[in-house]
Structure 1
């Protein structure tokens, strides 16, 4: 059974904007806020996991030289301009 939050405190401007978005989407304001929080948490969890992977790679000595990355991105950019 999902836990139920008791309240979310927002400033008046943000609350108005959320209300306008909810109305435009024909959804309840609470649904929109819950969806936004779910998406935020998922994105932040992903970010933390990716940082942890990067730290582990660095700790394990699996690093890529800056010049190699720069050359790769410059080649990609040049290909896009062609």
Structure 2
């Protein structure tokens, strides 16, 4: 996929830190920034999907109360200790 030039404004301290990381990794600064943005977007997309699934589960009353979940978890841990 071809890259499209874009501009990101960063403060001097953050830019210097990115430069240091890029140098330590022997990568161009632009590569490191692009990789960081890709990872951030992927993580945020995952989070949004998980929240939407949780809201749908709550809307459908597919939830478990805290006491029941805690009891299940403690039973599972106890079984693993044996």
Structure 2 residue aligned with 1:28: 28
Matches within 5 A, 1:46-57: 46-57=46-57
Name the count of aligned residue pairs.
Answer: 82
TM-score normalised by L of structure 2: 0.84
Structure 2 residue aligned with 1:65: 65
TM-score normalised by L of structure 1: 0.84
Runs of 4+ in 1 over 6 A off after TM superposition: 77-82
**C-alpha distance in 1 between matches for 2:8 and 2:76:** 44
Structure 2 residue aligned with 1:43: 43
**C-alpha distance in 2 between matches for 1:17 and 1:80:** 44
Q: What are the superposed Cα offsets for residues 17-60 of structure 1, whole Å, 9 maximum, x if unpaired?
A: 00000000000000000000000000000000000000000001
Q: What are the superposed Cα offsets for residues 2-23 of structure 1, whole Å, 9 maximum, x if unpaired?
A: 4514211111111000000000
Return 5+ residue gaps in structure 2 as ranges.
none
